[in-house]
Homo-oligomer: A and B are copies of this chain.
Amino acid sequence: MLEPAEKDWRKKWYHIIFESDTPAGRRFDVLLLIAILSSLLVIMLESVPKLRAQYQEQFVMLEWFFTVLFSIEYLVRLAIVKRPITYVWSFYGIIDLVSTLPSYLAMVLGGAQYFIVIRSLRLLRVFRVLKMVRFIGEANVLGTALRASRHKIAVFLIAVICINFIMGTVMYLVEGPENGFKSIPVSIYWCIVTLTTVGYGDISPATPLGQFIASVIMIMGYGVIAVPTGIVTSEITRSQSKEESSNSKSCSNCNAEGLPMQAKYCQHCGAEL
């Protein structure tokens, strides 16, 4: 059992590190975000050949500095939080761990340090600094919309995949390896590139027939790209209108619905609400 002083000390730091509604807490989170961003910047710049050639050791040093920093932060969080286990298995807890481990792994096996980019997930902390609640609200609208439309999206995706399989094979037969359609997987890749209107141009039909089929695929791509947009849009519209209608009265006299909250009388029958 801890003596009060210690407990206060803990509580104080808990507010600073885990919450952001106090000025101190906000300041801490902002500093943390800056640290995260600069650590990401270091990793990115390190991957640029000429910069690596020049500033090799500086990068390594900075890399270690941030790793140690985040490790300390993680341990402090563990020390301060009431139930460490729940934190460890929480969304942010896992990200915090996963984004610090790799640089230790990097000593053992090479390349692993790149996975530090998972650290970019820590940017999600930005939501805590900004007015958390509101943003979560917005995110929920998007989330529910996407969740509600997941079945339609699935139906749609399977259809798209079948189209890609068939069209990809057809193009492989029409164009053949000599025009860059080296194999069925490659021409399925090309078909996806076309249907999503990305169109790299690394592979493109050369025969008249191939170009005709490609044109058909593109025109199809039109309608195809319209479908997910339509699904998501209608879902967002609905989840929004629900959110709005959820703050509206209904009249007990004439059962009229969707009356504004500030209404004192029903606009249809005049009855007092």
A residues in contact (CB < 8 Å) with B: 40, 43-45, 47-49, 111, 114-115, 117-118, 120-121, 123-124, 126-127, 130, 134-135, 138-139, 141-142, 145-146, 151-158, 160-162, 165-166, 168-169, 172-173, 177, 182-186, 188-189, 192-194, 196-202, 204, 208, 211-212, 214-215, 218-219, 221-223, 225-238, 240, 254-257, 259-260, 262-270, 272
Residues of B close to A157: CB separation below 8 A = 219
Chain A residues touching B, majority SS: helix
A68 to B89 alpha-carbon distance, docked (Å): 49
A198–B226 touching, CB < 8 Å: no
Write the nearest CB–CB distance from A37 to chain B, whole angstroms: 11
Residues of B close to A145: CB separation below 8 A = 230
Residues of B close to A218: CB separation below 8 A = 192-193, 196, 198
A240–B240 touching, CB < 8 Å: no
Q: How many copies does the complex hold?
A: 4
A189–B215 touching, CB < 8 Å: yes
A264–B270 touching, CB < 8 Å: yes
A41 to B25 alpha-carbon distance, docked (Å): 54
Kindly report which residue of chain B lies nearest to residue A126, judged by CB atoms. Answer: B158
A38 to B143 alpha-carbon distance, docked (Å): 34
Further contacts, 13 of them, CB under 8 A, given A117-B169, A255-B264: A114-B169, A117-B166, A121-B162, A123-B162, A193-B199, A194-B198, A196-B219, A225-B225, A225-B229, A227-B232, A230-B232, A238-B240, A264-B269
Residues of B close to A146: CB separation below 8 A = 223, 227
Write the nearest CB–CB distance from A29 to chain B, whole angstroms: 15
